[in-house]
Amino acid sequence: MIQGRKILIGVGGGIAAYKVCEVVSTLAKAGAEVRVIMTDRAQQFIPALTLATLSRHPAYTDADFWQPHSRPLHIELGEWAEVFLLAPLTANTLGKLVYGLADNLLTNTVLASTCPVLVAPAMNTDMWEQQSVQRNWQQLQTDSRYHAIDPNAGILACDRVGKGRMAEPAEILSHLESLLWTGGKRDLQGKRILISAGGTREHLDPVRFIGNPSTGKMGIALAQAALHRGASVTLVHAPMESGLLAPLTNIRTVPIGSAAEMQQSLQQEMLQADWIVMAAAVADVRPAEYHSEKLPKRSLPDSLALAAVPDIVAELSQQKQPHQKLIGFAAQTGDILPPAMEKLQRKNLDVIAANPVDRPDSGFGSDRNQAVFLDRSGRKQILDPCSKLVMAHALYDFVNDCVIQTS
């Protein structure tokens, strides 16, 4: 989805400008056409040569703005871009955007463009918390062109601990990828989407458990895609690496461990949900007996007695209200379609995504996936290998079409 796409990046004057180098480099390596505009203050933090080298194209500055061109530079760049990133967004540029002011190449190009604009602010905590800045930040988001990534909290370059850190490159890149898919539409705005993710753990004792290889990456991609399309998102997740959860700004997370805990959380959360997306790999069985202290190796049983785990998806389908949509996943090996169609019908799902876990670069632990989408009316869509974020967007498109056909 990145290759060949036209991405314009405006860099403001802040220490967080160094993070933009990774964004530019990653996009260029992925085959995107990248153009960079730097304010005069941005050049105090990183030289234009750095971003020109990383983007494989000269970086534009205000000095270029006043040079003769066949067409005005801000018009040319504004019409060229498919998506526009402003990072770091300073308090100064934020105020200009809100009031439609244009006194440099960057702000003139914003006004001369019509593509979606992704803004990632960064500043000192006291600056960020000023009423005037917060008023401008909220006002900017009333304009549908602008897509916002709130700053994170942490230790700032000024040694202050608080909110104001610019979003990390991984979060910015995923949002850019979403905007290239959606064109900036927020077709899930007003929707409350509940997502399950990760592999549950059924413990024998405090250190041993029955589990599976699920990392939760698919569920995280589903949560990000839904958020980027305007939804309110709750993610109920099994244990996973903290680094995977770090980019989930503005997503409510509910950590759980076992299938029983997931069942309890989902039953509570689904009361407020419009769509429930079951991407978690939930255990089918658990040890029949749990030991509260670690068993010595010599005391481990030769055979392990197992007990069935409740079928969470089937139970949720019985509680589902007419306005709700229940979407399931079927991780399969071999011929994935027959078991997926059987699961779709037996568990009364609205849509199911059948994905192979026995193919290279697909399924558990991979950054990529592939699938076949099915709904109850017999519609089918085959999705070739792609990033999990792309798969999440394709699934939401499929569900939206399902909603339209049944409404």
- Which amino acid does the sequence have at 87? A
Nearest to 255 by CA among 394, 244, 10: 244
Domain locations in the chain as residue ranges: 6-182, 192-406
Distance CA(264)–CA(180), nearest Å, equals 37
Nearest to 237 by CA among 267, 282, 202: 282
3-state secondary structure the chain: CCCCCEEEEEECCCCCHHHHHHHHHHHHHCCCEEEEEECCCHHHCCCHHHHHHHHCCCCECHHHHCCCCCCCHHHHHHHHCCEEEEEEECHHHHHHHHHCCCCCHHHHHHHCCCCCEEEEECCCHHHHCCHHHHHHHHHHCCCCCEEECCCEEEECCCCCEEEEECCCHHHHHHHHHHHHHHCCCCCCCCCEEEEEECECCEEEECCEEECCCCCCHHHHHHHHHHHHCCCEEEEEECCCCHHHHCCCCCCEEEECCCHHHHHHHHHHHHHHCCEEEECCECCCEEECCCCCCCCCHHHCCCCCCEEECCCHHHHHHHHCCCCCEEEEEEEECCCCHHHHHHHHHHCCCCEEEEEECCCCCCCCCCCEEEEEEEECCCCEEEEEEEEHHHHHHHHHHHHHHHHHHHC
- In the numeric block, the tokens 């519609």 are attached to 379
- Which amino acid does the sequence have at 8? L
CA angle 215, 261, 392 (to 5 degrees): 40
Query: Which pLDDT belongs to residue 330?
Result: 93
Nearest to 276 by CA among 192, 345, 353: 192
pLDDT digits (tens, 9 = 90+) for 208-259: 999 999 999 999 999 999 999 999 999 999 999 878 887 788 899 999 999 9
Q: Which residues of the chain have pLDDT under 50?
A: none
Distance CA(402)–CA(192), nearest Å, equals 17
**What are the Cα distances from residue 13, in Å, to 110, 192, 220?**
17, 37, 32
Distance CA(273)–CA(396), nearest Å, equals 15
CATH superfamily of 192-406: CoaB-like (3.40.50.10300)
pLDDT digits (tens, 9 = 90+) for 304-332: 999 999 899 999 999 999 999 999 999 98
Query: Which pLDDT belongs to residue 407?
Result: 57
Catalytically annotated residues: 158
Distance CA(130)–CA(36), nearest Å, equals 29
Query: Which pLDDT belongs to residue 343?
Result: 94
Between β-strands 306-308 and 285-287, what pairing exists: parallel, antiparallel or unpaired?
antiparallel
Q: Copy the structure tokens of residue 107.
A: 């702000």
Distance CA(336)–CA(369), nearest Å, equals 14
Domains 6-182 and 192-406 share a fold: yes
CATH code of 6-182, in short, is 3.40.50.1950
Query: Which pLDDT belongs to residue 243?
Result: 83
- Which amino acid does the sequence have at 158? C
